[in-house]
């Protein structure tokens, strides 16, 4: 019986490794964006992350349907992961939300302070068309909307 359970756990672990996705998005007028879905463990949770030059002062990672809360200073490392927006009302620092389904991948970054939550950027990718859009609100560095083309990428090493 223990051998069967160990075999099932091993197979599930292998399946989880295959569930990792890396998606690379390029634009004619904006820097590259890379999304890694369910590819890292942080704070004992599996998270998805986004990278791009528009991200600063936060660790841009969260669980699907959750929020990654970053420390407000220093390396801005991930401090906590919560599942409800109500749970970060007293947080000061970067907030990244993330959601994924068969059609869409969304990451959104904001800054929470005593003045409330200030949206910094949103990246929405359509998994059916392979297109995406980065939106940076007026008043922020790089403000505007940028169109992207996205493809699943594989690691070379």
- pLDDT tens for residues 32-82? 999 999 999 999 999 999 999 999 999 999 999 999 999 998 788 999 999
If you write DSSP's letter for every residue of 107-124 in order, what string do you get? EEEEEEETTEEEEEEEEE
Bridge partners (DSSP) listed for residue 40: 47
pTM above 0.75, yes or no: yes
Question: 35, 151 in Cβ contact below 8 A?
Answer: no
Query: Nearest CA to 37 among 104, 94, 84, 131?
Result: 104
Query: Nearest CA to 34 among 19, 48, 16?
Result: 48
> Is the per-residue pLDDT at 4 higher than 50?
no
Q: Which residue is it, tokens 């002062």?
A: 57
| Distances 99 to 14, 65, 74, 141, 142 between C-alpha atoms, Å | 23, 5, 27, 24, 24
Question: 65, 147 in Cβ contact below 8 A?
Answer: no
Question: 66, 96 in Cβ contact below 8 A?
Answer: no
Domain ranges of the chain: 21-153
């Amino acid at each position: 019986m223990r051998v069967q359970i160990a075999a099932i756990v091993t197979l599930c672990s292998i399946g989880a490794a295959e569930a990792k996705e890396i998606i690379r998005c390029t634009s004619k007028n904006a820097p590259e964006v890379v999304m890694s879905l369910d590819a890292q463990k942080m704070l004992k949770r599996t998270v998805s992350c986004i990278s791009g030059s528009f991200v600063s002062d936060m660790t841009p990672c969260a669980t699907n349907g959750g929020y990654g809360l970053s420390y407000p200073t220093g390396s801005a490392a991930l401090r906590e992961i919560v599942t409800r927006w109500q749970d970060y009302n007293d947080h000061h620092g970067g907030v990244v939300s993330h959601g994924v389904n068969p059609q869409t991948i969304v990451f959104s970054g904001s800054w929470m302070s005593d003045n409330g939550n200030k949206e910094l950027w949103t990246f929405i990718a359509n998994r059916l068309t392979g297109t995406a859009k980065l939106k940076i609100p007026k008043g922020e560095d790089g403000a505007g909307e940028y169109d992207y083309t996205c493809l699943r990428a594989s690691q070379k090493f």
